[in-house]
Amino acid sequence: MKAEILTIGDEILIGQITNTNSVWIAQQLTLIGVNVIHMTTIADDELAIINAFNQALKRADFVFITGGLGPTKDDVTKKTFSKYFGVELILNEEVLKQVSSFFIRRGKEVSEINRNQALVPGGCFVFNNAQGTAPGMWMKKENTVFISMPGVPYEMMAMMSNLILPKIKIENKLPNIYHKTILTNGIGESGLAELIETWENNLGSKNIKLAYLPQPGIVRLRLSTFGPNLEELRKNIDDEIEKLKIIIEKYIFGYENYGEETPTLAQIVSELLRKNKKTVALAESCTGGYIASLFTNISGASDVFKGAIVPYTNEAKKNLLEVDESIFSSVGAVSKECVEQLAENTLKKFGSDYAVSVSGIAGPTGGTEDKPVGTVWIAIASHEKTLAVKFLFGDDRQRNIVMTSQTALNLLRKFILKAE
């Protein structure tokens, strides 16, 4: 089954709002095995809508339309809908009752403009809008079903989850779909591609698709497949992941399971700390508080996160974390010696089980021949030992901060796993 998502709304075309409806609809359809082949956004304009309908008619089994159903003047969707199907708009008594009770419950009168919400194209199947006033509509032309939904996200979501998706599942025997995503750190997209080339070339014969999803410091590898037997699909993907693990295990820090949200590295590390009943504290020089904010973004962070010091000057490194002044004049603040002292003293100051420290040159200025922009030292300390590692990232400041943070979190993850 192929679907197209059509969004109607000028506010999206001028970049004023992000089309989050399309993302959500695509997720829901993908999960029930409907293949989204096209997303389109057009203006509240009759000709544009009819052209888009004609295009969609050629390629999709289902067209999910959002937006353009409100009671105000600039919404032409419903009129165009009835015109496209060659039928009149007629008053639907059921919808009128629902719209009336919506306003009565709020102690308001139903205005003429709101009564118009009860006009629907003749012959269409109507979905009740439990959260608002604009009804959903389902009409078929040739082999394509056109489903119009309100643009207000929570109205659309309730209607789609409770009424539209069940109808589609019941009426169609959809293939099962399964996917799993591997989360990696420490290697770029092209580095991964070279390492796994042979493995990747074999996927096609197994009806498995691979996608590379890079972001700073992280590459996600998504494996997806479909077929009649869900258990078999799951097994096929798991088998391939086992083979892949032999090649790239050291870069893998987690998985995103079918139907779940992508865990962040901070979430994975926090869970690991919680499981082991351990805590962490940070000394962040070049990342300037970014790693702390990744931890504290997570609800319940105080169970595992004791705090951080951002010693942004040498003076602060010396006064707050007792780094030997001689280090600055001999090897400098971006050095093994400095991050080791930062991590060990952070451990003591906060009384945590682990400490992470980073010191580097985020850029764009401050680089030297010996220590170009992107040079970063990271240390992890526990009461047993201290590990320090040097990295060379790129020359973009924001990217260096993010890459340093992800890398430090993954180093901590591995450090904890070894200590378990």
Find all residues with CB under 8 Å of 174, minimum gap 6, and list them: 1, 32, 33, 34, 168
Nearest CB to a second copy, comparing residues 124 and 309: 309
Name which position in 300, 369, 384, 420 contacts a second copy (CB under 8 A).
Answer: 300
Nearest CB to a second copy, comparing residues 234 and 399: 399
Residues touching a second copy, count (CB under 8 A): 103
How far lies 412's CA from each of 132, 203, 363, 382, in Å?
48, 33, 24, 10
What are φ and ψ of residue 356, in 5° steps? -120, 135
Residue 104 interacts with a second copy (CB under 8 A): yes or no: no
Burial (CB < 10 A; 0-12, 13-18, 19+), residue 243, is: exposed
Find all residues with CB under 8 Å of 387, minimum gap 6, and list them: 379, 380, 381, 411, 415
Stretch that binds a second copy, among 37-45, 82-90, 232-240, 242-250 (CB under 8 A): 37-45
Q: How far apart are the first and last CA of the chain?
A: 48
Name which position in 128, 264, 276, 296 contacts a second copy (CB under 8 A).
Answer: 296
Nearest CB to a second copy, comparing residues 87 and 158: 158
Least distance in angstroms from the C-beta of 135 to a second copy: 15
Residue 320 interacts with a second copy (CB under 8 A): yes or no: yes
Residue 257 interacts with a second copy (CB under 8 A): yes or no: no
Nearest CB to a second copy, comparing residues 41 and 276: 41
The encoded tokens of residue 413 equal 């993850």
Contact 294, 321 (CB under 8 A): no
Residue 56 interacts with a second copy (CB under 8 A): yes or no: no
Residue 115 interacts with a second copy (CB under 8 A): yes or no: no
> Contacts with a second copy in 7-36 (CB under 8 A)?
10-20, 22-30, 36
150-189 footprint of a second copy as x/- string (CB under 8 A): --x-x----------------------------------x
What are φ and ψ of residue 306, in 5° steps? -90, -25
Find all residues with CB under 8 Å of 15, minimum gap 6, and list them: none
How far lies 268's CA from each of 124, 240, 250, in Å?
48, 23, 16
Least distance in angstroms from the C-beta of 238 to a second copy: 20
Nearest CB to a second copy, comparing residues 138 and 350: 350
Nearest CB to a second copy, comparing residues 107 and 228: 107
Judged by phi (left if over 0) then psi (alpha if -120 to 50, else beta), residue 319 lies in: alpha
Least distance in angstroms from the C-beta of 52 to a second copy: 8
> Contacts with a second copy in 366-405 (CB under 8 A)?
372, 374, 392, 394-399, 401
Least distance in angstroms from the C-beta of 204 to a second copy: 10
> Contacts with a second copy in 322-361 (CB under 8 A)?
349-351
> Contacts with a second copy in 183-242 (CB under 8 A)?
189-190, 193-194, 200, 209-214, 222, 224
* CA dihedral sign of residues 86, 90, 93, 98: positive
Least distance in angstroms from the C-beta of 87 to a second copy: 25
Contact 128, 43 (CB under 8 A): no
Complete DSSP assignment for 218-261: EEEEEEEEEES-HHHHHHHHHHHHHHHHHHHGGGEEEEE-TTSP
